[in-house]
Chain A
Amino acid sequence: MARALFDFRARPRFDIRAQPGFGVLALFTFALLYLPIITLVVYAFNASDSLSSWGGFSLHWFAAAAQNQAVQDAAWRSLIIAVSAATMATIAATMAAIATTRTPPYPGLSVKYAFINLPLMVPEIVTAVALLIVFAKVKVWTGYTGLGYLILAHTAFCIPFAYLPIRARLEGMDQSLERAAADLYAPPWQVFRRVTLPLLRPGIIAGFMLAFVISLDDVVISEFVKSGGQDTLPTYMLGQLRRAVTPEINAIAAAFLVLSVALVTVFFFINRKKA
């Protein structure tokens, strides 16, 4: 495997693909990408209670993080928000994708594209303060200060991420199967449920996972939209970074990291099977 990765086979005398120094710079880049993450994970297993010295291997900080009530609450809240937002975003994005693909252009189609993709183009901090302004007013008017604001905000910025893979899948789909079903007197709803939806499933799963990861990772918008005592895991960590940092934060980060990597790996293999 490592052999194949580095292409250590006899080279022709003059390799037209080679550029001097590029290989070294590339390996440096990979080292740069992984060194900080690896350091972080290693220090999560540090027995010492400061970050400056190594006190031997220990799972102490993972246990401490898992027993910390604030961490538990934040993790649970993050999960609720990510599942709700990703679900709503995926449903809305699937409907929107069906409405905007495989159709001759109609008035308003390009406006829809622009609308759905807009959350991708606006800097997060700008959306965050705009939401702060609006939700501050709404919180006063309605008296409601629950998780609904966070879920709504997350749903909005997850929609473009869920939309992209679903739309890509739809555009590559053959319409003849759906026509055949309609020819056999299947009513439109049955065509959708028995033919379109199963064919679309890989796109929907990819869209949901993207939306889920994006929601779980969000710091900036959550930081500005949350009411008091509504920390998500990332905003909790951001708050902790202001104080003296203990390896407990490393342990939380390492656990979070493993979850993200696992999700990305699953995503990678789903896509690979499809191709």
Chain B
Amino acid sequence: MASAAEIARRDEQGKIRSRWLLSAPALVIVFIASIGPLFVMLAYSFMAKGDYGDVKPGEFSLDGWFSVFLQRDIFDDTLSLADAHLSILWRSVRLSVITTVLTLALGFPTAYFIATRLRHTREIWVFLVTIPFWTNLLIRTFAMQQVIRNEGVLNTLLMWLGVINEPIPIMYTDWAILFGMVYVYLPLMVLPLYASLEKLDFRLVEAGYDLYAGRLAVLRRIILPLVKPGIVAGSILVFIPSLGAYVIPRVLGGGKNLMLGNLIELQFGAGRNWPLGAALSITLMVLVMVAMLFYVRNAARSGGGHG
């Protein structure tokens, strides 16, 4: 005869076993088509490149990783910094930072505006932000292309107004990528900011005014510190996909203004350098993980502060 404690323990173990069985399909699918391939890619980054793409299986080489930052001169074999890769890496980081700042500059007033509407109308404003968010990214990029083309809405309007005589060429420049990214990722900034601002206790704002603070002081010393978690969350949500952007620079940046995502694609296409492509992908992933760690640390700290 088993004791009551023994039965309870077995029952508990049985439950845990069935919980593992239940979650098995999801775990297996994610492993096969998401996590597993990442490990294969890690292995590929340490192999020698094949002559027509792919790799030479089992042949260990650090060339992929070296060529992320360095290039070998084809004549005398000397190493120098890989300017092309570094400038693309730098462009990706720079454009992503600017995109984050611009979406914050537009997104904060917007989220604040929504949060200060009457309760039953807020929902409608939020819904208006959600619609573009759920619209296909490619379609939105294409829509932006129609606005900034030489014959597009923006140039036509400016010429009609007499501000300019010749269309300003925006397409296929860094500006085009920037316009596209701000437009596409704006909802990702507004939504978390709104979630934070909605909970803002305006009695604190009132208290600030009672103590003779001006509008700017209230904004800077009371509102901004209180919604900092929302600002950090929104910035991360915009920064991460910007860094890995592929469709937007491909459509709006043309062939010349590459970002990291396009550089990676190039290695698997015309570049035929899979180990370099794998190493660049892992570099991108590490950059994203660093941004994420920053967010988690920040969230943990402010979580303790404001409850």
Of A88-96, A174-182, A194-202, the one with at least 4 CB within 8 A of chain B: A88-96
With A5-B121, A7-B118, A34-B132 known as contacts, the answer to whether A96 contacts B23 (CB < 8 A) is yes
CB distance from B38 to the nearest CB of A (A): 5
The reply on A108 being an interface residue by CB < 8 A is yes
**Dominant secondary structure of chain B at its interface with chain A:** helix
Which A6-28 residues have a C-beta within 8 angstroms of B? 7, 14, 16-23, 25-28
A237 surroundings in chain B (CB, below 8 A):
138-139, 142
CB distance from B29 to the nearest CB of A (A): 5
Contact at A123–B146, with CB atoms within 8 Å?
no
Of A59-67, A68-76, A261-269, the one with at least 4 CB within 8 A of chain B: A261-269
Contact at B26–A163, with CB atoms within 8 Å?
yes
Q: Which of A89, A99, A115, A133 contacts B37 (CB 8 A)?
A: A133
With A17-B205, A35-B147, A132-B268 known as contacts, the answer to whether A152 contacts B132 (CB < 8 A) is no
With A26-B109, A33-B129 known as contacts, the answer to whether A219 contacts B118 (CB < 8 A) is no
Bound Cα distance from A134 to B31, whole angstroms:
12
The reply on A206 being an interface residue by CB < 8 A is no
Q: Which of A23, A35, A136, A153 contacts B153 (CB 8 A)?
A: A35
Using an 8 Å CB-CB cutoff, how does the interface string of B37-79 with A read, 1 for contact, 0 for none?
A: 1101100100000000010000000000000000000000000
Contact at A19–B109, with CB atoms within 8 Å?
yes
Bound Cα distance from A52 to B159, whole angstroms:
14
Q: Which of B23, B109, B130, B282 contacts A268 (CB 8 A)?
A: B130
B112 surroundings in chain A (CB, below 8 A):
19, 22, 26
A98 surroundings in chain B (CB, below 8 A):
22
With A116-B26, A156-B33 known as contacts, the answer to whether A217 contacts B281 (CB < 8 A) is no
Contact at A115–B35, with CB atoms within 8 Å?
yes
Q: Which of A88, A103, A163, A272 contacts B123 (CB 8 A)?
A: A272
Q: Which residue of B lies closest to A149 (CB)?
A: B33
**Dominant secondary structure of chain A at its interface with chain B:** helix
Contact at A17–B106, with CB atoms within 8 Å?
no
The reply on B178 being an interface residue by CB < 8 A is no
Which B105-137 residues have a C-beta within 8 angstroms of A? 106-107, 109-110, 112-114, 116-118, 120-121, 123-125, 127-132, 134-137
Q: Which residue of B lies closest to A53 (CB)?
A: B151
Using an 8 Å CB-CB cutoff, how does the interface string of B233-253 with A read, 1 for contact, 0 for none?
A: 000000011011011001100
Interface residues of A (CB under 8 A from B): 4-5, 7, 14, 16-23, 25-30, 32-37, 39-40, 43, 51-52, 88-89, 91-93, 95-96, 98-100, 103, 106-108, 112, 115-116, 118-119, 121-127, 129-134, 136, 152-153, 155-157, 159, 163, 213, 216-217, 219-220, 224, 234, 237-238, 241, 249-250, 253, 256-257, 260-261, 263-264, 268, 272
